[in-house]
């Protein structure tokens, strides 16, 4: 059984709690799940629905997510397809970063970068990583 790792790291946005899991799928498959807003409710335990005009997020993408029945606006602050990393703000508050690290043929590490003040959100991220692994490894 795979395990989820938690560590503190320094990101371009400062120190974050990295919640990560190795996935037996190509990095591009996990990146597709991370960057397709229509797929977020499939793996995001706190995301009930998404309203976004973009099929794939990019820097500047805006929309809204439904969390606990409430629609909350978001904006993608940075999306780097080359380095598999994106960050966003939800209700103008910097939120989790999302990163994929290629580990060789058919394997990668999926990472959520959680602000240290929101460390309790790591439990939600762990659940999301399990779902991402299930979705990315379906054949």
The model's pLDDT over 18-62, given as tens digits with 9 standing for 90+, comes to 999 999 999 999 999 999 999 999 999 999 999 999 999 999 999
pLDDT at 1 over 60: no
Could you tell me the end-to-end alpha-carbon distance of the chain, in angstroms, rounded to an integer?
19
* Domains of the chain and CATH, by start: 5-136 (3.30.530.20)
DSSP per residue over the chain, as a string? ----EEEEEEETTEEEEEEEEEESS-HHHHHHHHH-GGGHHHH-TT--EEEES-SS--TT-EEEEEETTEEEEEEEEEEETTTTEEEEEETTEEEEEEEEEE-STT-EEEEEEEEGGGGGGHHHHHHHHHHHHHHHT--
For residues 39 and 43, give the distance between their C-alpha atoms in angstroms, rounded to a whole number: 7
pTM for this prediction? 0.93
**Residues in CB range of 1: below 8 A, 6 or more apart:** none
Q: What pLDDT, on the 0 to 100 scale, is given for residue 139?
A: 61
d(CA 25, CA 127): 18
């Amino acid at each position: 059984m795979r395990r989820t790792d938690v560590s503190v790291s320094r990101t371009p946005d400062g120190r974050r709690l990295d919640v990560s899991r190795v996935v037996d799928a190509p990095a591009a498959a996990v990146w597709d799940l991370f960057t397709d807003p229509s797929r977020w409710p499939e793996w995001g335990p706190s995301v009930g629905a998404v309203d976004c005009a973009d099929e794939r997020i990019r820097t500047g993408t805006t929309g809204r997510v439904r969390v606990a029945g409430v629609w909350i606006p978001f904006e993608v602050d940075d999306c780097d397809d080359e380095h598999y990393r994106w960050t966003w703000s939800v209700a103008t508050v910097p939120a989790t970063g999302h990163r994929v690290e290629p580990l060789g043929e058919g394997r990668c590490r999926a990472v959520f970068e959680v602000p240290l003040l929101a460390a309790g959100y790591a439990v939600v991220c762990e659940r999301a990583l399990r779902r991402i692994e299930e979705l990315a490894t379906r054949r």
